[in-house]
């Protein structure tokens, strides 16, 4: 065990009451602390801290941000009020895995790979029109032809809080009939880009309804791909 005498800046709120004013000042104080090679674990998982925890007057001190973020909280410092604010993060309605762009995701009998997501601008009679486009590959990895119901739109955009933002339309591949035998269809889905999508953390959801798959009882596909923010 080692003891080190260090200078540690602490904020002591010295409250001076008068008829009108409340006053606080910063005080620098020399304290004696103990470093003991302390590790931090959250639910059995060791977390890293850029500042080594120490013991002072029988209590362990560790950075609030390190602890708060390890338990999935937002931690913010307000310099105007000298206050640390710890709040819950916005809930994520997606209780299933979020896949990444470029990852090939197979959930039999289909597989999908999102190649790229981006904003495009077209000019029409002098007017600029903005669209959001997602390039992808859709594959049938079964031995049956799959017919997605005509009225369904299997690709939709959501935000991470569970709000549906847009249905997406398809181009260059059929969303309604996917031939059998490990065929692959390359194309893209798109929608208009407006303020509803701007700076939102987007999630692409693929949830098809299939009419003639022979093993329909086991057809349960709900894929989510993390798209991120598009400015």
HSE-up (13 A, CA, CB side) for residue 91: 4
Write the pLDDT tens digit of every residue in 83-115: 999 987 665 555 667 889 999 988 777 788 999
Tell me if residue 122 falls in helix, strand or coil.
strand
117-134 confidence digits (pLDDT tens): 999 998 877 788 999 999
Q: How many CB atoms lie within 10 A of CB 110?
A: 23
Sign of CA dihedral 213, 214, 220, 224: negative
Closest to 177 (Cα-Cα) out of 223, 126, 140: 140
d(CA 93, CA 159) in angstroms, rounded, equals 9
Nearest Cα neighbor of 62 from 87, 89, 41 is 41
- Read off the pLDDT of residues 168-215 as tens digits, 9 standing for 90 and up: 887 766 555 566 666 677 888 889 998 889 888 899 988 766 555 444
| CB contact at 8 A, 25 and 16 | no
Q: How far apart are the first and last CA of the chain?
A: 52
**Averaged pLDDT for residues 140-161:** 72
pLDDT reported for residue 174: 58
Does residue 10 register a pLDDT over 50?
no
Does domain 99-229 correspond to CATH entry 2.60.40.1240? yes
As given in the structure block, the two tokens for residue 103 are 């990852």
pTM for the structure as a whole: 0.53
Q: Where are the domains of the chain?
A: 2-88, 99-229
pLDDT in tens, 133-143: 999 988 888 77
Instruction: For 50-163, list the strands marked E by DSSP.
Output: 54-56, 59-61, 73-78, 83-88, 99-100, 104-107, 110-124, 127-140, 146-147, 155-159
Q: What is the pLDDT of residue 48?
A: 87
> Given the DSSP bridges, would you call strands 45-47 and 40-42 parallel, antiparallel or unpaired?
antiparallel
pLDDT at 96: 66
Average pLDDT over the chain, rounded to an integer: 76
Cβ–Cβ under 8 Å, residues 46 and 38: no
Beta bridge partners of 111: 106, 139
**Can you tell me the distance from the alpha carbon of 202 to that of 195, in angstroms, rounded to the nearest whole number?**
13
């Amino acid at each position: 065990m080692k003891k080190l005498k260090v200078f540690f800046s602490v904020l002591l709120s010295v409250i001076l009451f008068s008829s009108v004013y409340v006053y606080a000042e910063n005080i620098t104080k020399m304290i004696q602390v103990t470093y003991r090679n302390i590790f931090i674990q959250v639910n059995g998982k060791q977390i890293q801290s850029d500042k080594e925890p120490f013991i002072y007057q029988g209590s362990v001190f560790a950075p609030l941000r390190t602890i708060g973020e390890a338990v999935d909280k937002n931690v913010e410092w307000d310099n105007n009020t000298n206050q640390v604010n710890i709040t819950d993060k916005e809930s994520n309605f997606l209780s299933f895995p979020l896949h990444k762009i470029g990852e090939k995701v197979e959930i039999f009998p289909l597989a999908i790979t999102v190649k790229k997501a981006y904003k495009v601008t077209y000019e029409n009679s002098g007017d600029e029109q903005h669209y959001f486009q997602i390039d992808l590959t859709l594959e049938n990895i079964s031995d049956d032809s799959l017919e997605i119901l005509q009225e369904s739109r299997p690709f939709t955009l959501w935000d991470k809080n569970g709000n549906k933002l847009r249905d997406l339309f398809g181009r260059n591949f059929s969303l309604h009939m996917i031939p059998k035998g490990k065929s692959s269809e390359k194309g893209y889905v798109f929608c208009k880009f407006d303020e509803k999508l701007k700076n939102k953390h987007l999630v692409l959801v693929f949830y098809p309804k299939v009419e003639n798959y022979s093993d329909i009882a086991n057809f349960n596909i709900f894929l989510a791909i993390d798209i991120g923010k598009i400015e």
